[in-house]
Structure 1
């Protein structure tokens, strides 16, 4: 029988006893599985994953490239061309059909490769954001990907964990699990390790935790019983139909523009065909085929059908670049929202500060103890500063009383504690809350404290919650034959639960004078930038146990206060300033004392000296409208509960802001989901917050958020660049053909060698060639363009502003019309008659016009890199663009000079002088745009680009 595969004779996990189940699964709950055994079980049971979608075969993915209405038009064009070729005697090869077919195939290959790149990038991001679980392996707590869980693994559960597999609880302390995704119950379920009996519905299996649910409170230990598709969530997944991912606003806009252009250009193509037939006439089947092919090719070339694939590739490349810099976007299209962020609501600890909690001071009834050393290395000394220290004879007695009190503070704080600090490869590593780890490190500095802690046996726990801001532990001391409740928590909250104070070896009542003195000490520590915590205790009553369901935090004796410092990150102040310059406001939200929050916020430049912090109790008194008024003025919030974060986000959004919100605790998940960009902490964040977020911060660093906004703006800028480039270039082709037909007589566009022949400025194959070589390669290169404009010197982009706005459309029309004009003038320059007298053949003139249009589009790529800056500004920053330009020029040389290509595209060789003429005419597009940009910069006072051009308009 396979491990974890019960037979009919075995009880299901929720009905089996814990000991029986662990024996069945062949695991010691105190040690967990060994690494070798875990690997063997993983090979037997497979990854702990829900069944993925069936992979699409390569042939179907390739075939999908042809499933487009415009492609259908080209297929019809091939059929018409072949039919005409057969009617006319099938002499030679059907060149037009072959060329169109080859171009279709090449386009399909390009699309296939682009989609593959985007899919690979998304797969890589999924790996980066994969859920993890804490398990016991080889007797040690280990963090591993949830996909590697196997039956028999011992799960270590704590607040904020996403349950990685179905498991039977062995120990549960105040454990509550949110199971709405599985059972539909809106409230969290209280869990217990007690065995059940009889028929028990899924929602009532309180001794089980299930894959896909979330721990919202408490701690527990469970043995994995089933994984993957054998879990309860797997059963549901097997019943669900596949769901299509909803497109992002950017995708919707691009699709709408493409449809509009498609309808418009098809109409234009019909007009062009009708005009051509009316103006020049069509006397043979071949001429009718030429007209039809031209119209179809024009419609296909004018619509950027490759735009969605290029957009996905550019976003994928940009998001992977962000991930390498510790900003992992879970969805590609969240980049468009990130670039529009106008407010960052950030936690303080670990984000704006270094998250290297160091307990630096202990304040008790007898004085103050200062501890040296920083970080988690247990190295440092203690300096005793008794109250009224004057160097007299009684100083030794004062020191002894102070030492007794300080040791009691650290004993209590270290017992009411779930962190561990271990040395690995010369580095001290914290597992658990860094604030709790600070107590353990300080204990080692004060001597004897770790030994005394060893005399206590923890027997029960009332876990910390954001609402209570305290945690308590019942610990038994065998030598004294007594049990104590040790509590640590927010100093101002804990003080309200205390009735006495420890003074040396005595316990004295806590009168009003003593309370005022303690409150003053809290204020002083907070003003110095310390996070303050209090530690208290009392002797437990007979049979009493610390429990979340029982109020044990009463009639406490205050042992003392501690001041824990978490210094600001050196780079955070610069990041706050950079965000302000970009029009992005920073708001700090913390559970710390208001004075601590003010000090840190002032040091970081979030507020000026004297700026105020709003406390959670103040937020409780405000209705929604008043809160909107408050968030306009206040940028620091202290002593807040998780639901306050949600209200702050909602108020900012009602005020028109695009909000990025950071979070790490399970109760932050609602605020992260509500925010426009929810940002989970990658180091300290819980699995629940990571699932609720759109972005994961790999280094928990505020500067990384600002850098991600910077990168998001660059990516969005690049999208604007290649949109402007593709649209204007395609319009240039439409203008060339349409006005080449309408103004053929004015421009002298006629073949003197065959006066009665049908004449078109560009052939269908030439249009399709231009579309293939100039649309994809340069556009992709522009998608990875480095920063040209100073994107952090402009306000955030308005979310309701379309990417293709009026200024961008104006530039597209101007550039496209100009490209069409210089192409037609180039042809006129070489042809007899028209506006400019020439003497070359029509085939040569058409080849020159064809080449001029290609070169004009390449120069347009250089100009499109910025809406306001000169094309020569940072001209050589993008080697990929120059490589793309070089490739297209080389391909165009082949088309013009290689005989096989000449036959396929009806071209003739050009002389060096003629190439220079084509380049000079094409450069008019570049120089004209330079004049427009110069005028724009002069009009704007040579300042940054106007807001209308902020995204490449």
Structure 2
């Protein structure tokens, strides 16, 4: 069988430490340059010396981030910086007022900042633990020749000049030049992205070649799928091809997430808004109240500063961290491990998912799906290595179960013959099916189980000899002895174009007939049909031979064969991926395939999954290399399948998409994916098949390697973003309600009756600082947290992703925030007016009662605003009972408000939340320098701090 070769470009420079490219030098010359006898290997002393000189055979790792740095990183958020400024201002105000009691505002805000940092540290620690749990717990080892003896050494201790002894199932520990190879196939998908194992040959290359075409080399991070070989190590550690990609990874900048950029912008806007609010309130207070004395001026300044601090949504950073942490845990339960909190929302903003093919969209398990024989065509259902499925007539798999006895026998002989001429093994452990050996050969073993009687037909056969597969022969043969007294047979499988010329007959049911020109043309047509449909093809034939035929000279008998048929093999898509792709497209997300595999195979798989229309064009890495920046951007706008690409091509594609305004999620499992994963807005690594380099560079790891998990994470990311908008809308509109209440109360003090009830105060406010602080503590924290875990209220996958320039707080949201805040402020002032003498409505109560009534009105308005803030497009009554945590928070807020107003220890002797001053003459001045004492049962109107908290 001809093995497709990767055409992806790669550097062909010599490894560091060697003055030449070993792939174009004879193996003996390479060994001589490295100072080693290939038949003996290095001695232990020389190996130790070289290890000391070159260092361990491992990739350079970043030093662990110290705890102090992790803690400091939690305070780099601009909003946290704004809160720290608020703490400083609060402490300053407290100090100016006489430094009596406890600076409650400062303590509360500082506690929130610390809580936010703790939440961030805890969640990142959990993510690091989850990533560590996904890593292999065993240390890789290699078999090497030392002092003429085979020994097992840790792969980290390999040095240049070591002679590797490679056998089936081994991991290749270092880059090495082959000395010899017998039917050696190496799985290089982690480097090249190509799913099929590459046939290796020790013969020297005629000229330098790309990485995927260096058939006389093996590389660190790959695995031996079949055969045996010996190789001399030419590069270790960072000098390997894997190390070169790691270097590229180090040079790749890591992008901040869209949410981080947006929260930074929101923090700046809030900071400017708070400063503006403070300035406006101070100017208006000074003008309206005719401030003339220095004492009154200080009062006005302190009023503006205090209101500015109250306007900051202190709980925003902590609530944001909690919401992200809850979302991250929800994703983790769905096998998506997010390493950084802010990355959780980014996937919900993704407009493009650029996915690797092998092992991500496909199962990386070669499967026989089609069988052509003389009597017809059969489709085998089921995918992967689990031997579940059946044979059905026709090429679409929807026909009837196979019952034609003649066709059954022909197909059984094809699958049975392929199972006999086979070096792979199918193994079942604890319900999981795996293969040992070449995946293409294993496909025959799996397929044989799907046709009743086939496994029994070949049971008991013993192999008496073998002619191995080579790249020149493109086929292999096995001499088999059936149980009992049956005649021996030579079973051959290989590339159909090589096998058919050796055949003179064809199997038709129980008999053989001459393979005339008509039947030969039909057989070749079957092969062509499979090739056009992106199947890899293998033909199977046999001939009877004399019993007791020796194993020597079997090649002479590989003629006059009886042709049995041809099979079509493919790495099948994961069964759940097509639905996931459809869901992504419904959500306005474009799915792209970027692979190192053949373009025909790539477009076939992409068409099957619904990524592109059947027959769509694929662009190769070579074509991408010839494009300028504008040409590359134009290509990425229209083409969704990229084949035969190199790591630098993946980076080009990601950069072009980002330059076009897309939020890009890049998935992958191989080392070659790591740089693109780091550059992408969110890199998604495979947890099972992914390499450690890939996992380190990614922001999210899939514990089940399931593409459908990505789409589920997208949904969760969108829910997170919706909930962030919900509690931002709620917090900002509620705080604006407080701002408008104080602002309009100062300006309209005479209109609503406050001025007449103030008893000559220089500055009159409708609410006390204590009351505003209570509102922030009670109505902001619980409801906002509940909104952060609110279930999906609308179908988040029914709308397109938000644009990269879309604001989390856009003009529409600001309009709603200001409108709701204004309505709250007006409602609160009207309530106060109703209770006070004078104003628009004549009342009879005191300022204490009026303030308490306004205070309660504002609390109730904000609690109703919880329901109103769940959506910008639907009313508060739409699905209003779906969030049980919301109603729990609302209920708690009501209980606490009733308690603070009615419970004796929380109210004044008058039966309402008091606003009495320390002197008794002035009841409404806020803020004011502290002096005198207060009753332990009252709330201070001068400073706004419960007397019980003051010392």
Aligned counterparts of 1:808 and 1:455: Cα–Cα separation in 2:
79
Aligned to 2:324: 315
Residues 628 and 277 of structure 1: is their aligned pair in 2 closer, same or farther, counting only changes over 3 Å?
closer
Aligned counterparts of 1:368 and 1:278: Cα–Cα separation in 2:
93
Displacement of 1:347 after TM fit? 6.5
Please give the secondary structure, in 2, of the residue aligned with 1:56. Answer: helix
Given that residues 366 and 504 in structure 1 are in contact (C-alpha distance below 8 angstroms), is that contact kept between their aligned partners in structure 2? no
* TM-score normalised by length of structure 2: 0.64
Please give the secondary structure, in 2, of the residue aligned with 1:613. Answer: coil
Aligned to 2:269: 260
Aligned to 1:36: none
Give CA deviations for 1:384-417 in whole Å, capped at 9, x if unaligned.
Answer: 99xxxxxxxxx999999998776554455x33x6
Residues 836 and 424 of structure 1: is their aligned pair in 2 closer, same or farther, counting only changes over 3 Å?
same
Aligned to 2:884: 879
Residues 569 and 432 of structure 1: is their aligned pair in 2 closer, same or farther, counting only changes over 3 Å?
same
The higher relative CO (CA closer than 8 Å, separation ≥ 6) is in 2
Aligned to 1:613: 615
Given that residues 896 and 909 in structure 1 are in contact (C-alpha distance below 8 angstroms), is that contact kept between their aligned partners in structure 2? no
Aligned counterparts of 2:250 and 2:617: Cα–Cα separation in 1:
47
Q: Which of these residues, 266, 274, 284, is aligned with residue 275 of structure 1?
A: 284
Q: Which of these residues, 785, 796, 803, is aligned with residue 801 of structure 2?
A: 796
Bigger mean CA deviation after superposition, 663-672 or 643-652: 643-652
Q: Which of these residues, 765, 781, 790, is aligned with residue 785 of structure 1?
A: 790
Aligned to 1:56: 68
Aligned counterparts of 2:435 and 2:901: Cα–Cα separation in 1:
68
The answer on 1:533 being equivalent to 2:563 is: no
Given that residues 603 and 617 in structure 2 are in contact (C-alpha distance below 8 angstroms), is that contact kept between their aligned partners in structure 1? no
Displacement of 1:521 after TM fit? 1.0
What is the CA RMSD across the aligned residues, in angstroms? Answer: 6.6
Bigger mean CA deviation after superposition, 313-322 or 399-408: 399-408
Bigger mean CA deviation after superposition, 300-309 or 728-737: 300-309
The answer on 1:851 being equivalent to 2:856 is: yes
Aligned to 2:721: 716
Aligned to 2:501: 500
Residues 345 and 80 of structure 1: is their aligned pair in 2 closer, same or farther, counting only changes over 3 Å?
closer
Matching of residues 135-150 of structure 1 within 5 Å: 135=140
Given that residues 785 and 878 in structure 1 are in contact (C-alpha distance below 8 angstroms), is that contact kept between their aligned partners in structure 2? yes
Residues 668 and 101 of structure 1: is their aligned pair in 2 closer, same or farther, counting only changes over 3 Å?
closer
Given that residues 895 and 905 in structure 1 are in contact (C-alpha distance below 8 angstroms), is that contact kept between their aligned partners in structure 2? no
Aligned counterparts of 2:705 and 2:497: Cα–Cα separation in 1:
34
Matching of residues 204-353 of structure 1 within 5 Å: 247-280=256-289, 290-344=299-353
The answer on 1:765 being equivalent to 2:796 is: no
Given that residues 896 and 908 in structure 1 are in contact (C-alpha distance below 8 angstroms), is that contact kept between their aligned partners in structure 2? yes
Aligned counterparts of 1:906 and 1:116: Cα–Cα separation in 2:
45
Give the gaps of 5 or more residues in structure 1. Answer: 1-13, 26-47, 87-93, 139-147, 181-189, 193-205, 386-394, 463-469, 489-493, 544-555, 911-953
Residues 593 and 282 of structure 1: is their aligned pair in 2 closer, same or farther, counting only changes over 3 Å?
closer
The answer on 1:835 being equivalent to 2:840 is: yes
Residues 241 and 655 of structure 1: is their aligned pair in 2 closer, same or farther, counting only changes over 3 Å?
closer
Aligned counterparts of 2:241 and 2:623: Cα–Cα separation in 1:
44
Aligned counterparts of 1:84 and 1:595: Cα–Cα separation in 2:
77
Aligned to 1:3: none
Please give the secondary structure, in 2, of the residue aligned with 1:583. Answer: coil
Aligned counterparts of 1:345 and 1:160: Cα–Cα separation in 2:
31
Q: Which of these residues, 126, 131, 135, is aligned with residue 131 of structure 2?
A: 126
Give the gaps of 5 or more residues in structure 2. Answer: 1-33, 47-59, 144-153, 192-199, 203-215, 395-403, 482-489, 543-551, 553-560, 916-951
Aligned to 2:428: 423
Aligned counterparts of 1:279 and 1:384: Cα–Cα separation in 2:
91
Give CA deviations for 1:299-336 in whole Å, capped at 9, x if unaligned.
Answer: 22223354344333322321321232233444443444
Aligned to 2:818: 813
Give CA deviations for 1:83-109 in whole Å, capped at 9, x if unaligned.
Answer: 5447xxxxxxx35x4433543454345
Q: Kindly tell me the number of residue pairs found equivalent between the two proteins.
A: 790
* TM-score normalised by length of structure 1: 0.64
Given that residues 190 and 691 in structure 2 are in contact (C-alpha distance below 8 angstroms), is that contact kept between their aligned partners in structure 1? no
Aligned counterparts of 2:736 and 2:795: Cα–Cα separation in 1:
29
Given that residues 468 and 477 in structure 2 are in contact (C-alpha distance below 8 angstroms), is that contact kept between their aligned partners in structure 1? yes
Aligned to 2:401: none
Please give the secondary structure, in 2, of the residue aligned with 1:714. Answer: helix
Give CA deviations for 1:895-918 in whole Å, capped at 9, x if unaligned.
Answer: 4345555589997279xxxxxxxx
Residues 374 and 801 of structure 1: is their aligned pair in 2 closer, same or farther, counting only changes over 3 Å?
closer
Displacement of 1:115 after TM fit? 3.1
Aligned counterparts of 2:466 and 2:811: Cα–Cα separation in 1:
72
Residues 582 and 860 of structure 1: is their aligned pair in 2 closer, same or farther, counting only changes over 3 Å?
same
Aligned counterparts of 1:74 and 1:901: Cα–Cα separation in 2:
26
Q: Which of these residues, 618, 641, 645, is aligned with residue 644 of structure 2?
A: 641
Residues 834 and 352 of structure 1: is their aligned pair in 2 closer, same or farther, counting only changes over 3 Å?
same
Given that residues 216 and 667 in structure 1 are in contact (C-alpha distance below 8 angstroms), is that contact kept between their aligned partners in structure 2? no
Given that residues 477 and 491 in structure 2 are in contact (C-alpha distance below 8 angstroms), is that contact kept between their aligned partners in structure 1? yes
Please give the secondary structure, in 2, of the residue aligned with 1:745. Answer: coil
Aligned counterparts of 1:207 and 1:352: Cα–Cα separation in 2:
28
Q: Which of these residues, 714, 733, 739, is aligned with residue 728 of structure 1?
A: 733
Matching of residues 561-600 of structure 1 within 5 Å: 561-564=566-569, 572=577, 574-586=579-591
Aligned to 2:442: 437
Displacement of 1:786 after TM fit? 1.0
Residues 126 and 383 of structure 1: is their aligned pair in 2 closer, same or farther, counting only changes over 3 Å?
closer
Aligned counterparts of 1:214 and 1:904: Cα–Cα separation in 2:
81
Given that residues 270 and 295 in structure 1 are in contact (C-alpha distance below 8 angstroms), is that contact kept between their aligned partners in structure 2? yes
Displacement of 1:376 after TM fit? 4.1
Give CA deviations for 1:128-151 in whole Å, capped at 9, x if unaligned.
Answer: 66467785799xxxxxxxxx9998
Given that residues 830 and 839 in structure 1 are in contact (C-alpha distance below 8 angstroms), is that contact kept between their aligned partners in structure 2? yes
